Amino acid sequence: MQDPTQSQSKTLVEKLNEWVDTNQETPTGVSYNTYSTNTRGKDTEGSYLIYFPPTYEKDVNRRYPVLFWLHGGNGTAREGVWAIQNYSRAINEGKIPEVIIVSVQALPIGRYLNSKDGKQPIEDVIIKDLIPHIDSTYRTITHRENRWIEGMSMGGYGALRFGFKYPDLFGVVSAIAPSILRNLTEEPEEVGVSFGNSQEYFEEVGPWHIAEVNAEKFLQNKNRLRIFIGDNDIRLLQSVRNYHRLLSDLKVSTDYKEIPGANHIYAEVATNCGDEFFTFWKTALN
């Protein structure tokens, strides 16, 4: 869940440069780290939070799947702490496999793409800098079937973009309440900065078009996808339904559910699902 004290009061300039979370506190079971963002230029950095499963330190020869978790709009990597703790409990109870979890620090309004003017290359930083850093630093399994991605709201938008644009990189995709409206005018005004206020660019780089372009490759790889959204998420519900309909037309199988009583809050979607929220991950490796 998003900390309401973060980012909301920050200026647009600050939001467009928040590559490193200045809050370095580490919640229990989570570590704070930085990495070089060479894509942005020399001596630049980004940050992330990372969770290691129970046997990581004990079994030094074992490698693990890795889940990249993408925060929502006006959020930071710390928005993923609740998700990490929820998954940690599930791992300890044997409900999902042991997995490394990386909560990504992205820009609060960037939609996980390269901005039209090239000044905020969020997509390139994650794909070309962060993922290679994670794979070279920690004991991950680098095959796509063992590289997972999940996002909430804006992060769900990013998870769908990455899942369909890079089907050879991510084998398992989870979008929770993805913010996938069809028109830029429906978005908050500051979001338009990333798209150069261009509806054409908004459509070109968005998850609707990317799914249409890469659905065949996604199918060939037998990649897995789920989309969950609360049935009280009024602003996004119809768009998500329409997106699910598009995927059905493209023959893309989706674990799609509208969660009773859940609003646009990750914890509500997950909690209202009960153990069903974990079934998707438990079967991901089969």
Angle at 77 between CA 167 and CA 262, to 5 degrees: 80
Asked if the model's pLDDT at residue 162 lies above 90, the reply is yes
- Tens of pLDDT, residues 178-219: 999 999 999 999 999 999 999 999 999 999 999 999 999 999
Residue pointed to by tokens 């338009």 = 192
Check whether domain 12-282 has CATH 3.40.50.1400, yes or no: no
**Measured between alpha carbons, how far is 75 from 41 in angstroms, rounded to an integer?**
24
CB distance 156 to 173 below 8 Å: no
Closest CA to 178 of 225, 136, 119, 115: 225
CB distance 56 to 76 below 8 Å: no
Closest CA to 68 of 194, 158, 4: 158
Task: Give the mean model confidence (pLDDT) for residues 230-254.
Answer: 98
Q: What is the pLDDT of residue 284?
A: 83
Q: What is the pLDDT of residue 10?
A: 87
| Percent of the chain whose pLDDT exceeds 90 | 93
Q: Which tokens belong to 178? A: 């993805």
**pTM exceeding 0.85:** yes
Interstrand relation of 45-51 and 224-230 (parallel, antiparallel or unpaired): unpaired
Task: Give the mean model confidence (pLDDT) for residues 55-78.
Answer: 96
Q: What is the pLDDT of residue 141?
A: 97
**Measured between alpha carbons, how far is 65 from 129 in angstroms, rounded to an integer?**
19
Convert the chain into a string of H (helix), E (strand) and C (coil): CCCCCCCCCCCHHHHCCCCCCCCCCCCCCEEEEEEECHHHCCCCEEEEEEECCCCCCCCCCCCECEEEEECCCCCCHHHHHHHHHHHHHHHHCCCCCCCEEEEECCCCCCCCCECCCCCCEHHHHHHHHHHHHHHHHCCECCCHHHEEEEEECHHHHHHHHHHHHCCCCCCEEEEECCCCCCCHHHCCHHHHHCCCCCHHHHHHCCHHHHHHHHHHHHHHCCCEEEEEEECCCHHHHHHHHHHHHHHHHCCCCCEEEEECCCCCCHHHHHHHHCCHHHHHHHCCCC
Q: What is the pLDDT of residue 286?
A: 64
Task: Give the mean model confidence (pLDDT) for residues 25-41.
Answer: 95
Asked if the model's pLDDT at residue 6 lies above 70, the reply is no
Maximal CA-CA distance, the chain: 52
What are the extents of the domains in the chain?
A: 12-282
Banded model confidence at residue 155, pLDDT cuts 50, 70, 90:
very high
